[in-house]
């Protein structure tokens, strides 16, 4: 489900320019938690992520009269929030280079190693709190460039084009990074869940 | 289609981004290759689990505070179009 934009984007921007309080509430309701999650995936700190939400909306307010009529408010906000979170991260660890190796070569994918089928595990095992913690850590363990694409596409439901606009990269780079992120996470989850396959079920052991 | 090709096309296959000819080739390969079938199924399960993951939100009290501050800034920012 594409969630990045309102369908009546131009009308909404016009109402914002006229300082329509309802329009502002609508935009805040729609985007504040989404921007929070984008920032949280980068910063892993709730207060800092709230700061990013605040900064992003303040930037929007300041920029209202400069935005083009066809500007996409959602993608614009995502981009501002993403960059603001990266800025905060750089301030926090200034000596560390954030530019991780861009893995945009479509060839040369790591071959899948763990080929155990764990998809028939019962729901309560797949969704146990230990399993979801493991999943969160696996997402957090992705490289910065893969995690950014994975978060926007898979968790926030942005389209390939919207993700490309937000991150300032090509659509083909979005696709390659999403593919790598999925395969990386698949491998991590397979390592975790495959150990539970066959436990208490002798015919799969 | 070989296993390497299937792996390259896997996300496009999952996202229905392959043309019909390639998609048919992928289906034919998957029908005869148990390993690739496992990779497909576990990748789709991985995606489903991440999508189902409870989404974190701004704590309610802080969210209200933030909204009040921002609405203030919004309403008090002079409208230059007038």
- B68 min Cα distance to partner chain A (Å): 10
In a domain, A111, yes or no: no
Minimal Cβ distance to A185: which of B11, B41, B46: B46
In a domain, B24, yes or no: yes
- CATH code where residue A13 lies: 1.10.1740.10
- Check residues B14 and A4 and name the one with the higher pLDDT: B14
Do A134 and A177 lie in one domain? The reply is: yes
Q: How many CB atoms lie within 10 A of CB A186?
A: 23
Looking at the structure of chain B, the number of domains it has is 1
- CATH code where residue A172 lies: 1.10.10.10
Question: What average pLDDT does this structure show over A93-103?
Answer: 61
Question: What average pLDDT does this structure show over B15-26?
Answer: 96
The last residue of a domain, from among A48, A77, A92: A92
Q: What is the pLDDT of residue A205?
A: 40
Would you call A175 and B12 a contact, using CB atoms and an 8 Å cutoff? yes
Q: What is the pLDDT of residue A68?
A: 85
- From the candidates B10, B40, B46, which should be mutated to test the interface with A, based on the most A CB atoms within 10 A? B46
Nearest Cα to A128, choosing from B61, B37, B78, B49? B49
- A141 min Cα distance to partner chain B (Å): 14
The last residue of a domain, from among A51, A73, A92: A92
pLDDT in tens, A132-160: 999 999 999 999 899 999 999 998 999 99
Which residue range is the domain that position A37 belongs to? 9-92
In a domain, A106, yes or no: no
Nearest Cα to A75, choosing from A4, A7, A147, A2? A4
Q: CA quadruple A26, A87, B75, A50: dihedral positive or negative?
A: positive
Q: What is the pLDDT of residue B70?
A: 97
- What token pair was written down for A66? 């400069």
pLDDT in tens, A32-46: 999 999 999 999 899
Do A22 and A86 lie in one domain? The reply is: yes
In a domain, B81, yes or no: no
Quote the CA–CA distance of A35 and A78 in Å, as a whole number.
6
pLDDT in tens, B40-73: 999 999 999 998 887 889 999 999 999 999 999 9
Is residue B2's pLDDT more than 60?
yes
Is-above-0.90 flag for pTM? no
Quote the CA–CA distance of A87 and A82 in Å, as a whole number.
9
What mean pLDDT, rounded, does chain A reach?
A: 88
In a domain, B9, yes or no: yes
Split at pLDDT 50, 70, 90, the class of A7 is: confident
């Amino acid at each position: 489900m594409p969630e990045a934009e309102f369908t009546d984007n131009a009308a909404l921007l016009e109402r914002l320019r006229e300082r329509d309080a309802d329009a502002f509430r609508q935009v805040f309701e729609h985007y504040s938690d989404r921007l929070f999650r984008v920032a949280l995936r980068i910063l892993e700190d709730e207060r800092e992520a709230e700061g990013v939400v605040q900064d992003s909306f303040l930037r929007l307010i300041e920029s209202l009269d400069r935005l083009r009529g066809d500007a996409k408010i959602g993608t614009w906000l995502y981009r501002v929030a993403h960059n603001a979170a990266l800025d905060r991260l750089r301030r926090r660890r200034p000596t560390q280079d954030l530019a991780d190796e861009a893995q945009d070569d479509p060839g040369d994918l790591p071959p899948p190693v763990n080929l155990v089928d764990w998809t028939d595990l019962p729901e309560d095992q797949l969704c146990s709190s230990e399993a979801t913690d493991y999943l969160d850590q696996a997402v957090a363990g992705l490289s910065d460039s893969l995690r950014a694409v994975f978060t926007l596409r898979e968790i926030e439901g942005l389209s390939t084009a919207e993700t490309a606009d937000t991150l300032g990269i090509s659509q083909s780079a979005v696709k390659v990074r999403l593919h790598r992120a999925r395969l990386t996470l698949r491998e991590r989850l397979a390592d975790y869940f495959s150990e539970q396959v066959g436990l208490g079920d002798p015919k799969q052991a | 289609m070989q296993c390497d090709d299937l792996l390259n096309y896997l996300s496009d296959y999952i996202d229905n981004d392959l043309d019909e000819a390639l998609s048919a080739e992928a289906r034919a390969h998957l029908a005869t290759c148990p390993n690739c079938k496992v990779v497909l199924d576990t990748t789709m399960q991985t995606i489903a689990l991440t999508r189902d993951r409870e989404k974190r939100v701004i704590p309610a009290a802080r969210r209200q505070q933030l909204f009040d501050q921002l609405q203030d800034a919004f309403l008090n920012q002079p409208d230059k179009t007038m």
